[in-house]
Structure formats: C-alpha cells, structure tokens
Amino acid sequence: EPRKKRGYKKSVVDFTKVDPDSLPTVILVGRPNVGKSALFNRFIQRREALVYNTPDDHVTRDIREGIAKLGDLRFRVLDSAGLEMAASTGSILDRTAEMTGNVLRRSQFAIFLIDVRDGLHPMDLEVGKWLRKHASGIRIVLVMNKSESLDDHTGCLVSAAGEAQILGYGDPIAISAETGLGMVDLYEALLPLLEEYMLRSINDKASLGCSISEVEESKLPLQLAIVGRPNVGKSTLLNTLLQEDRVLVGPEVGLTRDSVRAQFQYEGRTVYLVDTAGWLQRTKQEKGPASLSVMQSRQSLMRAHVIALVLDAEEITNARSSMNHAEVVIARRAVEEGRSLIVIVNKMDLLRGKQKLYEKVIKAVPEEIQTVIPQVTGIPVVFVSALEGKGRTTVMRQVVNAYEKWCLRLSTARLNRWLRKVMSRHSWKDQASQPKIKYFTQVKARPPTFVAFTSGKVQLPDTDIRFLTKSLKDDFDMGGIPIRIIQRSVP
C-alpha cells in the first residue's frame, strides 16, 4: 500500500525559541558510507556548519556540528563521519572508540544509520555492540538509510527491517537522506525524546521559549466576552460592570448588534469587555454587514479568556430545559476552544417571592450544565439581577477566579509528587499491559496543558486520561477549567 503523505505534528515545546546552547545534541553514527553526511546536510539545510578539529595524539578529526531543523524540532547535530576518515587505520572498534572523547559525552541522543541496500553488514553489528558498551546513557534511534532505492511493494523494506532487529535497537525507521523519504517518521520518533529532554533539563519553564510570554500571564489584561441570546440582559449587565451607561439598553432584538469593546478596572486589574451581541442573533435574513459582525463577534469570542454565558432566569422557569440549543452550542464551543466558561443567570429579581421557582432554577442550571458539558466539571454558575445593578462583585469575583485558574502553572516537582499519589489511588484497568507514566509536566497555561510521557507504544486508555483530568481538577481546584492532557509514548 502506498505510504500516505503525512505532515509534521506539533511539538509541545517551541524549540525555535530555545537558546541554542540548551538544545539537545544528537550524534550521527554508523560505519562509513551509510549516509551520515548526507543526513547531516539535510538536517542543517543551508545553514552554517561549524567544523572544528579535535587534535589527538596522532590524528586530527574533523567534526561537523550544526543546528538541525526537522519540522518544528531543533537540535544540535554532530556528524561523526570525519572521525573515521581521519583515523583510517585499525579496526572499527578502535576507531569508533576514539570518539569516546568529548564528542560522545556531549550527546544525549544518537541516530544509528545503516544502509538498507547492503543488508546488515558485520561492521553494523560492531557499531551496535560498541554503542551498547560506550554509549549507555545515550538514547539511540536506528534508521535504515537509502530506503528510496528499495521497492517497498515487494516487502524488501519489511524484511530488511526485520533483519535489523538483530541489532537490538528495535524497529528501524526507513528514511532516505537523499530524497527526504521518511523524515516525518524520523520526526515522530525523535519528538517525544527531545521534548522529554527539554522539559526535564529545564526546570524553569520561563526559559522554555513556549512560555516566555506566559510568565506573568495572570497579570495581563483579562479579556471577557459576554454572550447570550437577545434580551437576556447582556447590555444591562455590561453597564453594571462598567458602572456607567455606555451601551444603549433596550428591549428590541438586535439593538446592540456591533461588538462593543470597553475597558474597566477591577481590583487593580484591567478588564477588556468584548460584547458579542451578534453571536446568537444570526438570522437567515441577516446578510452583508450583519454576517460580518457575526463573524467578528465569533472571532472576538475565541480571543476572549473568560466567556460569560448569560441566561434569563424567567425563561428557564417557563422552559423545559435551562439552555436551548444555541446556548448549549456556544457553551460547548467555548470549552472546546479552551476558554474558561462561567454561566450567569440573570433577572433573578423576577423570581422574588416565588420560592419554588427560585429553588428550581438554582438547582436545575448547574445540573444541566454538567449534563451537556460532562468533560468539564464545576463550571461556575452565578445568579444575579443586572437591572438592579447588583451583580458586579458576584460576577467579577467568579470571572477573576476562573481566569486565574486558567493561567495556573504547576511545577513539575509538585506534579510528579501528585502523580505518585494518584497512581496508587486509581484501579488501573490492566496492571500488566498498563503503560507506565514516567513523567508528567505542564507545558502550557491558558488553558492548562499537560504532557504525560509513557513508556512503550501503548496509548493510555481514555478512561485513564479522564481519571487523571478529574484528579488534577479535584486536587488543584481547577473546576470549570478545560484542562488538556497530551500523551507521548517514549520507547
């Protein structure tokens, strides 16, 4: 079957922002002529390679070093080809043994190349043996180069791969340094290894490029979007928050059609208000400028950090469910986009004196939200009367709380202590085949995003991911926050 063309996934670490000195180092090893230099050249593309000499007693070795680019991965790459060239006497063992100097000690990973056209060569076995002896701390990825030269319909590649198992480095990755074949496979093999290295080696997340802009993130201006159907009281609520009449309030549907941006201070924090009145006011007649405003409001909605969905208390008492279809869609969408969601039940003044209805609303809304968005537990619900101008503190306290949780960062040390406890608490489905979580870390906030590095090729079952998600939420009080867990398996 022809190989499907696949693209590169996305790394959780932004390698492009990592200081070059902190990048992991990958050395290319293998007997002469397997294509180390060709692969090196492909990795560094047109960038500059540093060639330096390591004078030894008898030989001068040229080692090329450069910054490799593979998809969004970056790493330092060392080409050991010069080593063998210079030391042309002695057995391969002697010669490669000479590499044990600085070069090998500086590498954390090795790409071990073999030439698929030659089958397994006795020298490959020697290199393999030698690596096991001298490079014990180094993670090795085995690749079969020149794979473009074999017709992979005939099963030649498969049998070559089978043969290469003898080396004891697992399944080789079929590549062609010359044509670029298999580079996505190589990327996928290196990705979890290099990510794990980066996340482990740099404890201070601030030095990871991916989070530079997120360090003081909870102090950045909060973007709040107020959404809901017409007439639920969004504009009225907006005015309560702004504490001045800036938006025209009226009963007519669609009056506040355009997104209104406003800004106010709350407890020393700047809050940008994005009024997305257009969001649920789309009707079939609305074309042209109106649909433009709908699109804009949708965009601004997804730019918002916290999304406040406003419901009408009186309507809830008249309807069978607290939320209609449009409201359910918007709430789900907010969560899927990783926004922090809060629900505001407005017009509670209309239920004054109607104790039964009042209690029904207070009970029904949180329950129903839980049912329609089961993946996020504990979405905050507040009950207010915007008309009476009373909701400001109640609403803003929840908004700020939701925002701060959304920006939360947990240290790796704390997470791994937590993980050990949690693992003992959970009855994992099948102890024997259960992938082991080796390392757990937060790579991103806004929303909080975690990576679980597991051993072996098996994926964690969904039930386990759900268990971890729930435990994280319970133990770190992240209710209502759409947290994400990404799994990476490392061999």
Which is nearer to ligand GDP, 107 or 487 (by Cβ)? 107
Q: What is the token pair recorded at 479?
A: 């209710």
Q: In degrees to the nearest 10, what's the CA dihedral of 90, 96, 102, 104?
A: 180
**Residue 36 in contact with ligand GDP, rule: CB under 6 A:** yes
Query: Are the beta carbons of 268 and 221 closer than 8 angstroms?
Result: no
Q: How far is the CB of 311 from ligand GDP (least distance, A)?
A: 10
Q: How far is the CB of 30 from ligand GDP (least distance, A)?
A: 6
In which element (H, E) is residue 237 found?
helix 234-242
Q: Cβ–Cβ contacts within 10 Å for residue 375, how many?
A: 12
- The residue within the footprint of ligand GDP, chosen from 346, 398, 441, 442 (CB under 6 A), is 346
Q: How far is the CB of 27 from ligand GDP (least distance, A)?
A: 12
Q: In degrees to the nearest 10, what's the CA dihedral of 8, 13, 14, 15?
A: -80
**Residue 38 in contact with ligand GDP, rule: CB under 6 A:** yes
Task: Determine whether 91 is exposed, middle or buried from the number of CB atoms within 10 Å of its CB (0-12, 13-18, 19+).
Answer: exposed
The strand order across the sheet containing 73-79 reads 50-55, 60-70, 73-79, 25-29, 109-115, 139-145, 173-174
Q: Which of residues 232-271 bind ligand GDP (CB under 6 A)?
A: 232-236, 249-251, 256
Peptide bond preceding 447: is omega within 30 degrees of 0, i.e. cis? Answer: yes
- The residue within the footprint of ligand GDP, chosen from 101, 170, 209, 230 (CB under 6 A), is 230
Which is nearer to ligand GDP, 34 or 381 (by Cβ)? 34
- The residue within the footprint of ligand GDP, chosen from 34, 67, 114, 308 (CB under 6 A), is 34
Choices 11-19, 90-98, 290-298, 380-388 (CB under 6 A): range interacting with ligand GDP:
380-388
Q: How far is the CB of 285 from ligand GDP (least distance, A)?
A: 18
Which residue in 238, 383, 391 sits closest to 312, CA to CA?
A: 383
**Residue 33 in contact with ligand GDP, rule: CB under 6 A:** yes
The strand order across the sheet containing 269-275 reads 260-266, 269-275, 222-227, 306-312, 340-346, 381-383
Contact flags string 101-140 toward ligand GDP, x per CB under 6 A: ----------------------------------------
Q: Which of residues 427-466 bind ligand GDP (CB under 6 A)?
A: none
Q: Which of residues 12-31 bind ligand GDP (CB under 6 A)?
A: 30
Q: Cβ–Cβ contacts within 10 Å for residue 251, how many?
A: 7
Choices 190-198, 341-349, 458-466, 470-478 (CB under 6 A): range interacting with ligand GDP:
341-349
Q: How far is the CB of 198 from ligand GDP (least distance, A)?
A: 27
- At position 206, the amino acid (one-letter code) is A
**Residue 81 in contact with ligand GDP, rule: CB under 6 A:** yes
Cα Rg, the chain, nearest whole Å: 29
Binding site for ligand GDP (CB under 6 A): 30, 32-38, 81, 145-146, 148-149, 176-178, 228, 230-236, 249-251, 256, 277, 346-347, 349-350, 385-387
